[in-house]
């Protein structure tokens, strides 16, 4: 399985800079027009302790 790099230490699925969620969902953030990664958001994020 390929690993997804993640540096969001506050996420329950992050461990050693990798995402360990079974699946991820990414959505556009803002006006639905995405031209860079800054226009995206990880919908899978869950704060540590709230899995």
In tens, the pLDDT along 8-23 reads 999 999 999 999 999 9
Residues 29, 41 contacting (CB under 8 angstroms): yes
Domains in the chain: boundaries = 4-42
What pLDDT does residue 31 have?
A: 76
The three-state secondary structure class of 39 is: helix
Q: Which is more confident, 47 or 3?
A: 47
pLDDT digits (tens, 9 = 90+) for 27-49: 998 777 888 988 999 999 999 98
Please provide the size of the chain in residues.
Answer: 51
Higher pLDDT, 31 or 25: 25
- Give the pTM: 0.76
pLDDT given for residue 51 in this prediction: 57
């Amino acid at each position: 399985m390929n690993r997804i790099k993640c540096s969001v230490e506050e996420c329950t699925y992050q461990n050693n800079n990798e995402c360990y969620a079974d699946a991820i969902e990414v959505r556009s953030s803002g006006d639905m027009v995405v031209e860079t990664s800054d226009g995206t958001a990880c919908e899978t994020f869950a704060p540590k302790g709230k899995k």
